[in-house]
Amino acid sequence: MIKTAARCAREGIVVRQIIAAGAAIDNNDPAIAAAIEASNETFYNLINPDDYAMSAYKLSQRHYPLGTGYLYARSPEEFCEVVVTGTKSHMSSNYFRRLYDGLTETLPLEYEGIIVPQENTQIDFPTTGGYIFSDYKTLDSCRGWQLQQHRLDGHCRILDPKGIRRASGHRQEMTYAFEKVRDQLDRKAKENEIPPLTIEVIQDAKTVPSPTMGGHVWWKQLDEEEGWRLQKNIVDQHCRILDPSDICRARGREEMMRISFNRVREQLRGGDHLTGSLSPIQ
């Protein structure tokens, strides 16, 4: 279908609109760009990372197909991805049935989970997060997610808030992938109306919230919760609490900062977001 649409474009035939369901074609195939040009209205790409045929494609071809929605950068007006979940079948009828079941007024459907665009086929695995004597430097971060680059060979990776490597590849592709992650995180935050600075952080000593570099060199991570981090300085041993935007919200003795971080965790897990002044620990 993609190659047929590409031929239409080459022959000057304009199609009103193209909607691809689980397109089993390499995401770097030049026919894709031509097919998008053939669609007069927005080209919608229905993607399903759980599709068993897409998984088989990745294993056999060692490359991500367009049908998994990975790494195809175009403006939203030209090309829009729609995540269809709840089925592993490759039958297009199931794609459209799932789409119809969740469709209200306009496309696209909201993402049900964070999808991390890939460059290379890989298995997610835990890392140390790059906090102590790491070969990685952090290029960007958002709500606990990090885009990091290796200091020697220059390749990049994306880590989730738990330190799990979710994608790796060249800097250009991973920068694009991280922007896709950021878009999804921002959308979810807006949907859930998460106020970024309404978590009460108990103080050991009065602290003016200030930006940091994330603590990737001189800090050891002691605890983490939804992007919030409790860190300990490897030189003078004092501790601090960073929010998902790498803002230092409190600092002081380890015992007191652990108490404060546990209070942050309670608010995050229980939805007990508090406002009001930040009070020192008595």
Host H or E run for residue 61: helix 52-61
Pairing of strands 164-169, 156-159: antiparallel
212-221 pLDDT, tens digit per residue, is 878 877 899 9
With a cut of 70, say whether residue 115 has pLDDT above it: yes
Give the chain's mean pLDDT. 79
132 pLDDT band (50/70/90 cuts)? low
Q: What is the pLDDT of residue 4?
A: 92
Asked if the model's pLDDT at residue 257 lies above 90, the reply is: yes
Which is more confidently placed, 3 or 217? 3
DSSP state of 68: G
44-48, 100-104, 224-228, 243-247: least confidently modelled range: 100-104
Q: Which pLDDT score is estimated for 274?
A: 43
275 pLDDT more than 50 = no
Structure token digits, residue 26: 């390499």
pLDDT at 271: 54
Mean pLDDT value across residues 67-74: 70
Beta bridge partners of residue 14, listed in sequence order: none
**Model confidence at 108, in pLDDT bands (50, 70, 90)?**
very low
Supply the angle between the helices 31-38 and 2-10 in degrees, to the nearest 10: 70
pLDDT of residue 273: 44
Reported as a single tens digit per residue, the pLDDT across 225-253 is 888 999 999 888 999 999 888 888 999 99
Contacts of residue 166, defined as CB under 8 A and 6 or more positions apart, other chains included, come to 116, 124, 158, 159, 160
The answer to pTM > 0.95 is no
pLDDT band with cut points at 50, 70 and 90 for residue 106: very low
Winning range, highest mean pLDDT, from 57-66, 92-101, 206-215, 254-263: 254-263
pLDDT reported for residue 193: 52
Task: For the chain, give every domain's residue range.
Answer: 2-102, 125-192, 195-282
Tell me how far CA of residue 73 lies from CA of 48, 117, 177, 277, in angstroms. 18, 10, 9, 44
DSSP-assigned letters across all residues of 123-178: --EE--TT-BS-SEEEEEEETTEEEEEETTT--EEEE-TTSEEEEEE-HHHHHHHH
